Amino acid sequence: EGEGESIEDVALSFLLSNGLIKPAPIRVGSKEFTEQLILGKLLVLLLRDAGFEAEDLTGAGGTALIRQMVEAGEIDVYPEYTGTATSVHHGIPVTALPTTAERAYVLAKSLDAPQGLTWLTPFAFNNTYTLLARQELIDEGIQTIDDLAVYMNANDAPLTICVEGEFYARPDGLDGLQTLYGFAFQEDNILVVETGDVYEKLRNGECDLAEGFSTDGRITAWNFVPLEDSLAFFPFYNPAPVVRQEVLDLHPEIAGLLNQLSGLLDEATMAALNAQVDIGPDGELASGDEASVEEVAYNFLRANRLVALPEIVVASTDATEGFQSILSNMLMLLLADAGYQPVAQTDLGGNLAVRTAMLNGEVDLYIETVTTALAEYHGLPVAALPTTSERAYALAQNLDRENDIVWLDLLPYAETTALVEGEELTTLGIASLDDLALYMIANDSPLAICMDNEFFGSELNGIEALQQLYGFAFEPDKILLMAEDELLAGLESGECDVAATNRLDAAARGYTILEDPLGFFLTSGSAPVMRKTILDQNPELGTVINGLVALLDAETISDLDRQVELGEDGEEESGDEHDAYTVARDFLVENELIEPPVEEPAVDEAAEEGAGSQSTERENPAVEETGTEAPPADATPTEGEGGGETGQTPSPPDSPALTQTSPSAEMLASASAGGGEGDAATASASSPGIAREPGIIIASMTDTEQQLMGTMMVTLLRSAGYPVVDRTASGTSPDLRAMLESGEIDLYPEFTGVALSLYHNIPPSALPTTADGAFSLVKDLDAALNIAWIRKASFDSTYGLAVSPAVAARGLRTLLDLTAAVQADPTALTICVDDDFFNDVELGLASLAELYEMKPSPESIVLLADDEIYRSLRDGTCDVGKISRTDARVGAWQLTVLDDPLGAFPNYSPAPVTRNEVLARYPEMEQRLAALGPLLTPEVITDLNAQIELGQDGEPATGDEASIAQVATTFLCENQLMGDCTVIDNVATTATVMPDGTAAPDVTTEITPVLAMIPITNVTPGEASTLDLLVNEAIAAEEAVAPTAEPVVVSPTEENDESRPADADITISTPATFGVNAREAANATATVVAILPRATTVQAIGRTVDSSWLQILTADGEVAWVFTAAVISNPDRIAQLPVVDPAE
């Protein structure tokens, strides 16, 4: 229930599908400037041509107004730019926008989806900022902004630039550009001008460079050249049609319709369209030759066959004649293949009727003979006609211009009449009309001739004129009149010796055509003729038809006619003749002038019946989304497995796991799958009977780096006097996010990329690739959810490529260097990657290679497990390998991470995350935690990870590894973030000398050297973890004792005095993961008098003034001191303990 359609929707669908009501028009909007008007008009015309009623609202307003109309349901579809949607409509800073077109599109699409707006396929152009140069500068070798930077730095920055005020002032404008590329214009060489003057001043030579927009029509027209932005400084502004999902649900077919535009509009094409509207052919503004927006849009759609082309009426002067029928069919097929709608007009009659119909606009195209046009339509005497076909053709062209008739290319053959002789005369050697005349005169005109009435009665080009010209005559009784189609039969039967018949028909049948040395039978050729209006509207038709004409020589035409008239056996009406349509089609297909016909596949009825009975299963959505198999529904994640952050198998208790791995798409999917409702960590934190600890509850994920950051935050705030509860190593990112939102924890370190992907549904391929961009984006998005991000760390835990020491020694420092090396020799370097990276289409090896135009040989790519990649890089088996940037082994094993200047890898910088209410309660906390950010650089965090996971010898599990608590506390002290470094405690069984010369307090690491590896995610739902139980027990014990109204200062000798107030002590606990040293005095160098086991409760009876040390009673009743940060206690209760002077 609840998922079906509403009654209203069902009724509406029924009425629409049965044509009982008319669907609402699709309202198309756009902004007001040229490019938007063109894009909007393209959408309008496409929809209308497909039969939709489209309401044209293009140019209805600016960016804000159009978006308001879309969100209000007043506009259904409009073109929008990715950069505009993300920065303007969703408030993402321009500096945080993605650095690839694909990621920008996916980000915009994912952000708009919850608002019911669907982005269709984007257009192939990017209308972003660009740096324009005059051609003279390009000729000097400056083609990229990199080239410009080199030139400026080598020549004291002599060049000038024109910019408008906004680009000059914005941090992501000129200043940011100069900073990224490492050069600067001299201030006097920066000309800040009005927007409309930037191009003009560059054109006039007042500056050498200028800002511009990549699709402005003036760039090409005025001979400007955009410099390549190799570092992708300028954001991406690729437009795409954006459709309200409600409209798309009603008309799903419009997605495919509008997506046809996607690959057709690149930068050059869009700039050319803009130029037609803005400056016209002469390249000048407002000169009067500019085209209208509708004209430009329609012509573009027509040129790309995206709208139905007009009807073209094709006529034939004699459709029954083989040659005419073949040509007519060829023209019809050509037009249809080109997308036109040809209409055959074959019943008009002879030449004059067809000509009259063309003059009246009723015929658009037909084949005309030059002689007929000159003699019959223009009245030229036959004797005055040009004697060459070229001159006659040129004359016909000129005379017909005033009739708006265009002659296309000349066919080398025309259907003219000729005298044809029988076999007997050929045997006598009669080959020409001169030979025939001599024979007739010498033999008293013995021969008979067959002809039709037209040839007999024509005064200009009939039998009388022929006899006069050649000086002979047939006897009247030897002139036989027949129908045209009987002439050759009369010759064949012997009724006549000569026939005046169609030259083409005679040639097709193999008869001898008498040569005409005096040119009586004019053979000036023929040509396709068209109405000029049609050709002007469809100029490509001239090219298409002329391409056919070029193939039709005399021999080809005769062969085609023979196929229709005689067939293969050369005999008429023998049954093997071909129809004119088939002959025309086969010829065009053979010469690749049209596509071959599509044959309908035979239907296998048995297979079809079998297919109909098969059931289909829904694909596993996890496989669709991530490319990995989904875990079983009943799978229970174990530590380091399915948590999504490390993906590592747990190490034995006596060896720290090398768990520092960067977040990836697979990890995100795993974390998402493992962090939903019912997850163990969440269940344990919210189980009945488990109370929320007092103070600031700080958590972290379970991998080394996360625990280290969490421990730093715990120690830093505790040393500053904040009430802190340590819940580090509490689960996966989804666990902690849920706990933060529900108030079960207050603070934890989170990765920017993880938060954007998991909690804001931004696909990994759309994640920002810069640290500032990712941080700004997630901070803005989370602000609306009452979640605050504190200053991020200065390192990025993403993955990347590293090179071995030997390869680094060759100078490879960036992925661009790697590309150059691979291009020089695709097999020279061995590249080791894991299966996930190899198979990841969006963010794996393939996308990296595409972005950097790197083409390694397949033989050079080796697939290894993660740990094997590090070892192989170390021993030189691999030259290049996929790694986590901050893995302990990177620094310890002297691997070099390659810089990623083009942003192939998304950013995963960590930062403290809390709720706004926590910051309001502890306002100074943000400043204290923010101090960590600039100190935690890639080199520092890699070294810290190595101290924990590898130790001094750089090898795992050799026993010299430091604990997380020791590393965290030492780091804070060395960087003066802790006020009193004498409070360093519980970090090793031997004292560590601190910067102030004192020894750090010790921790008795009874089982595991890794702090707080509490398997909370493995707790059965409904049960409490050991730490939860201990904390609750401590809280319950403390709450059972009423606090003292005022602190009482006592001396150590008074501790067992019966006069001490009975309620002046509290119960504290040691953690579940390590024991705590109890010392003789309140300092790190004092003698250890007892070791408090893990998960033990004792009574605290006093404290130092700053509460950094607690005085306790051991199980033996002895008085001792413990470091406050090493035990679990209630800070509010500690404040009620009496202050004891340790010196007494």
Class of domain 665-796+909-934+949-961 as given by CATH: alpha beta
Helix axes 704-719, 964-974, angle to 10 degrees: 50
Q: Which amino acid is at 835?
A: D
In contact, 296 and 276? CB cutoff 8 Å: yes
CA distances from 684 to 688, 1012, 1037, 1105 (A): 9, 16, 21, 36
Closest to 564 measured CA to CA, from 589, 583, 586: 583
Q: Say if residue 805's pLDDT is above 80.
A: yes
Q: Which residues contact 850 (CB under 8 A, 6 or more apart)?
A: none
Q: DSSP class of residue 663?
A: -
> What's the CATH code, domain 1016-1134?
2.30.30.40
Given pLDDT bands bounded at 50, 70 and 90, which one contains residue 485? confident
Residue 343 zone, left/alpha/beta (φ > 0; ψ -120 to 50; rest):
beta
Given pLDDT bands bounded at 50, 70 and 90, which one contains residue 308? confident
Output the average pLDDT for the chain.
82
pTM (2 d.p.):
0.53
What pLDDT sits at residue 692? 55
Query: CA 683 to CA 698: how far, in whole Å?
Result: 17
Which CATH architecture fits 417-513? 3-Layer(aba) Sandwich (3.40)
State the pairing for strand pair 417-421/498-502: antiparallel
Tell me which fold the domain 311-413+526-590 belongs to. D-Maltodextrin-Binding Protein; domain 2 (3.40.190)
Query: In 230-380, which ranges are continuous DSSP H helix?
Result: 245-250, 253-259, 267-278, 293-303, 322-337, 351-359, 370-372
Q: Say if residue 44's pLDDT is above 90.
A: yes
CA distances from 214 to 42, 105, 131, 176, 274 (A): 20, 18, 9, 19, 11
What pLDDT sits at residue 534? 93
| Tokens encoding 161 | 């630039």
As a residue count, the chain comes to 1144
pLDDT tens per residue, range 982-1026: 644 443 333 333 334 443 344 333 322 222 222 223 333 333 333
Query: CA 463 to CA 13: how far, in whole Å?
Result: 75
Query: CA 230 to CA 25: how far, in whole Å?
Result: 44
Q: Say if residue 330's pLDDT is above 90.
A: yes
| Tokens encoding 250 | 């009603």
Given pLDDT bands bounded at 50, 70 and 90, which one contains residue 1074? low
Q: DSSP class of residue 932?
A: T
In contact, 1102 and 1136? CB cutoff 8 Å: no
Query: What percent of the chain is predicted at pLDDT more than 90?
Result: 53
Q: Is 911 helix (H, G, I), strand (E, B) or coil?
A: strand
Q: Which amino acid is at 119?
A: W
What pLDDT sits at residue 196? 79
Q: Which residues contact 393 (CB under 8 A, 6 or more apart)?
A: 370, 407, 410, 524, 525, 527
Q: CA 264, 266, 268, 269: dihedral to nearest 10 degrees?
A: 30
Q: Which of 108-122, 153-167, 463-477, 1037-1051 has the lowest mean pLDDT?
A: 1037-1051
pLDDT tens per residue, range 852-880: 999 999 999 999 999 999 999 999 999 99
At residue 232, φ and ψ (nearest 5 deg) are 55, 50
State the pairing for strand pair 787-789/365-369: unpaired
Pick the most confident of 425-439, 552-566, 969-983. 425-439
In contact, 307 and 298? CB cutoff 8 Å: yes
Q: Is 290 helix (H, G, I), strand (E, B) or coil?
A: coil
Right CATH number for 799-897 from 3.40.50.300, 1.50.10.100, 3.40.190.120, 3.40.50.1000? 3.40.190.120
| Tokens encoding 436 | 């025939």
| Tokens encoding 92 | 């993402």
Given pLDDT bands bounded at 50, 70 and 90, which one contains residue 1060? very low
In contact, 406 and 538? CB cutoff 8 Å: no
In contact, 360 and 328? CB cutoff 8 Å: no
Q: Say if residue 600's pLDDT is above 80.
A: no
Tell me the mean pLDDT in the region 67-92.
Answer: 94
What pLDDT sits at residue 5? 67
| Tokens encoding 371 | 């002689």
What pLDDT sits at residue 833? 96
Domain boundaries, the chain: 7-125+238-303, 129-226, 311-413+526-590, 417-513, 665-796+909-934+949-961, 799-897, 1016-1134
Beta bridge partners, 814, equal: 899
CB atoms within 10 A of CB 936: 23
Task: Please report how many Cα atoms fall inside a 13 Å half-sphere around the Cα of residue 1021, on the Cβ side.
Answer: 9
The more confident residue out of 561 and 251 is 251
Query: In 697-842, which ranges are continuous DSSP H helix?
Result: 704-719, 733-742, 752-760, 771-783, 805-808, 815-824, 835-839
> What's the CATH code, domain 7-125+238-303?
3.40.190.10
Distance of CA 134 to the CA centre of its chain: 31
Q: Which of 86-90, 219-223, 876-880, 1063-1067 has the lowest mean pLDDT?
A: 1063-1067
Domains 311-413+526-590 and 665-796+909-934+949-961 share a fold: yes
Tell me the mean pLDDT in the region 338-364.
Answer: 89
Residue with tokens 């040119």: 519
Pick the most confident of 277-291, 642-656, 1049-1063, 1121-1135. 277-291
Q: Which residues contact 1122 (CB under 8 A, 6 or more apart)?
A: 985, 1068, 1076, 1077, 1078, 1079, 1092, 1109, 1110, 1112
Query: CA 553 to CA 430: how far, in whole Å?
Result: 26
Tell me which fold the domain 129-226 belongs to. D-Maltodextrin-Binding Protein; domain 2 (3.40.190)
Q: Say if residue 1036's pLDDT is above 70.
A: no
Residue with tokens 């497995």: 641
Query: CA 460 to CA 448: how far, in whole Å?
Result: 22
∠ CA 551-554-560, nearest 5°, is 75
